[in-house]
Amino acid sequence: MTVTTFQRARSEEQRAARRRAILGTAAAMLTQMPVAELSLNELSRRVGLAKSNVLNYFESREAVLLELAAAELEHWVDDLTSALGDISPDDPIAERAELLVSNLVSTLAGRPVFCDLISSQAAVLERNVSTEVVLAYKRAAVVSLTRMVEAVVRALPEIGADGATRLLSSGSLLAGAIWTHSHPAPPVLEAYEADPTLAPLRMEFRPALTDALTTLLQGLLPR
């Protein structure tokens, strides 16, 4: 664990460096703990700034997390666009649909920090932030969504832009909910281990999301 110390920022370049350091430290912390456990106090300590100084760069803990979510979303779009580029439009529609779902699931599963962030978006990340912060996030999200819609339509033109938008919008909500339920707190895991009859309630991320997205996609494709 690295704790950095900074001198006072005196230029815009230095302020930008402080913001990058805060975001980088928060991102590193999220590889070690869930969003719910990341506190502003610990973030401040690790980045080497007083809590009040961190608040000079970000208006709240949630503002830090929301900016991280935007960056993670952009990285996921890169992953997904690259993966969907391998799907040939000449393949049967059923095969392309299966590959689309498979790539959605695998690229999401490969970014656990992003999954944790989107699972907390409405209840945590979008609270205690200003309209300006939300606007910046939502505008970036629209750009990312547009790129993803284009990639999905290239791979599966039958779904159309409207269907692709609905798939991605609803699919992200499903991914966030399934991520939360498939990563329960230790007492819940212990309960599952203690009582085999609870097995039907236990959720695994990849198969559960695959089933949900497959069902959603089947409803969106033309019959």
For the record, the structure tokens of 199 come out as: 């097995």
Please state, in angstroms and rounded to a whole number, the distance separating the CA atoms of residues 198 and 151: 40
Pick the CATH number of 1-58 from 1.10.3720.10, 2.30.30.60, 1.10.10.60, 1.25.40.10: 1.10.10.60
Query: Which amino acid, one-letter code, is at 35?
Result: V
Please state, in angstroms and rounded to a whole number, the distance separating the CA atoms of residues 172 and 121: 11
- So where are the chain's domains? 1-58, 60-220
Same CATH fold assignment for domains 1-58 and 60-220:
no
CA atoms within 13 A on the CB side of 86: 8
Sequential pLDDT tens for the chain (223 residues): 544 544 555 678 888 999 999 999 999 999 999 999 999 999 999 999 999 999 999 999 999 999 999 999 999 999 999 999 999 988 999 999 999 999 999 999 999 999 999 999 999 999 999 999 999 999 999 999 999 999 999 999 999 999 999 999 999 999 999 999 999 999 999 999 999 999 999 999 999 999 999 999 999 998 7
What kind of architecture, by CATH, is found in domain 60-220? Orthogonal Bundle (1.10)
For the record, the structure tokens of 21 come out as: 């350091």
